[in-house]
Amino acid sequence: MNDITAIILTYNEEKHIERCIQSIKKYSDNIYIVDSYSTDNTIQLCKSLGVNILQNKFINQSKQFAWALDNIDFKTEWILRLDADEYLEDDLINEIKNKLPNIPKDIVGINLKRKHLFMNKWIKFGGRYPLRLLRLWRNGHGYIEDRWMDEHIMVEGGKTITFNNNFCDHNLNNLSFFINKHDWYAGREVVDILSSVLKINNGKKKLTSTNTSFNVSLKRYLKENLYNKLPIGFGPLLYFLYRYVILLGFLDGKSGLIYHFLQGFWYRFLVECKLIEYKKAIENLESKEEIIKKLSELQGLKF
């Protein structure tokens, strides 16, 4: 017990944060909130629950989490990453209690299965369950990718395994929040795509099935080497049909249709549209410095 330190990044998460913290407290009291200067009741709730609170200016998830890893004095063997709108299910907590003390030393990372609820409906099909994500790792063996979007934990110095039970991703905000968030995500993903194409911040370590989960590394490989090279519109359409028909997404019902269409087609198409817009905005710029400045202006980012 108590051999895990959990890190949760927050910004205006009063709807979710107590649920998240209470689930972790069933196993460990070592909880750190890294807050981006919330303006709601997030901090007050965290104080009332007796967790550690740090605050740092937000740039992106990757840099914020890297800052947390650099600034927290870890006393535990294991570190857990959890988002504020996520929580550990009881079966997973029991599995952690039973298995973690006996994990061999050559195991340095543990993949957990994500169970995603959308509009209060468990999305079971369309390839969305189980998503195996590396969220638990030995202190000193894990680090986070330096990306603007879709960043993952990677480990070194050992092997990874997968636990059997779930953590739950259940955002309680409305559909407008989902749409606005994914609009914001789309621009950040475009910055990552252009940074790769133009070799800005080159030399990043690649995801592999050794340093993270297999499904994450395969998805990244297919996206970079196949999907991103398709003509505009083809990728989103094929991806949606693959998820909704071949992977039986239609079995998720009405909520599933909304989710698979918005996340599997609309969002992917929005990324392609923003990519065209951003490419046009930088087409006459020659230096990397000018390109970075323009991308920063378009997306409201600071590099």
121-122 and 107-118: which strand pairing? antiparallel
> What is the structure's pLDDT at 187?
92
Take residue 54 and report the two structure tokens written for it: 């740090």
Question: Phi/psi of residue 55, each to 5°?
Answer: -130, 140
d(CA 24, CA 82): 9
Residue type for 115, please?
A: K
Q: What is the full per-residue pLDDT of the chain (303 aa) written as tens digits?
A: 579 999 999 999 999 999 999 999 999 999 999 999 999 999 999 999 999 999 999 989 999 999 999 999 999 999 999 999 999 999 999 999 999 999 999 999 999 999 999 999 999 999 999 999 999 999 999 999 998 899 999 999 999 999 999 999 999 999 999 999 999 999 999 988 888 877 776 556 677 777 787 888 888 888 888 888 888 999 999 999 999 999 999 999 999 999 999 999 999 999 999 999 999 988 888 787 888 788 877 777 554
- Predicted local distance difference test score (pLDDT) of residue 303: 45
- pLDDT at residue 49 in the model: 97
Counting every residue written for the chain, the total comes to: 303
Task: Report residue 113 as tokens.
Answer: 């299965």
Q: What is residue 197's predicted lDDT score, i.e. its pLDDT? A: 78
Question: Are the beta carbons of 30 and 5 closer than 8 angstroms?
Answer: yes
Instruction: Report yes or no: 27 and 1 within 8 Å, Cβ to Cβ.
Output: yes
Residue 286 to residue 284: CA distance in whole angstroms: 6
Specify the pLDDT at position 1.
54
